[in-house]
Amino acid sequence: MESRAKLAGHPVHQMLIVFPLGLLATAVVFDVIYLVTKNPAWSTSAFYMIGAGVVTGLAAAVPGTVDWLAIPRGTRAKRIGLIHGVGNVVVIALFALSWVLRRDQPANPPTEAVVAGLLGAGLSIVTAWLGGELVDRLGVGVDDGAHLDAPSSLTGLPAVAAGGSGAYPGMPRGYAGAERRHFPQPAYAGDDRRGRGSA
């Protein structure tokens, strides 16, 4: 299912999520280093990273919600997307709580603040996996008919259009995405696919 919130041909959600994932995970690591070293530079950095992670997480949630609303009802993708979305709202809330609890003493965060961050990080592993399931397994945010030889997203052409070599090896010219699903495909292992049907 094609993303409904795109920039330069690619889903905005997948661009933005790197910020909360990177910032919040690193903040938790810095908290742990602070607990070991008691060097306030780590806890102070974690404080600012959590703030930036919460703001960028909220920003990433907007295009994610746009894409989720476009998923047809009654599908596994709709259910997984809902658990993913609600789970990430809880992740953001836990880190927001962690930020509020340490706001008056960023260099020396109370234990509850560190625990809230650790809980948020643990939950984000599950929600990120659900996000990957949405894309890699359920095809949400992937252009319909995407194939290995699709033309650039910047051409405005549909992914099913013939790309670099003019046709996907073994595929009839001008094929439509749907036919790909009926093509007998053993687990993809690079070279063996190219051997199939090449004239």
Asked whether position 117 contacts ligand HEM by CB under 6 A, the answer is no
Cβ 81 vs Cβ 71: under 8 Å: yes
Q: Compute the radius of gyration of the chain from its Cα atoms.
A: 22
Euclidean distance between CA atoms 121 and 28, whole angstroms: 7
Contact between 134 and ligand HEM per CB under 6 A: yes
What is the smallest separation between the CB atom of 123 and ligand HEM, expressed in angstroms?
Answer: 10
Task: Find all residues with CB under 8 Å of 165, minimum gap 6, and list them.
Answer: 149
Which residues between 52 and 91 bind ligand HEM (CB under 6 A)?
Answer: 57, 60-61, 64-65, 67-68, 81, 84-85, 88-89, 91
17 binds ligand HEM (CB under 6 A): yes
Which helix H or strand E contains 116, and what residues bound it? Answer: helix 111-132
Q: How far is the CB of 10 from ligand HEM (least distance, A)?
A: 9
Phi, psi of 10 (to 5 degrees): -120, 150
Binding site for ligand HEM (CB under 6 A): 3, 11, 13-14, 17, 20-21, 57, 60-61, 64-65, 67-68, 81, 84-85, 88-89, 91-92, 128, 131-132, 134-135, 140-141
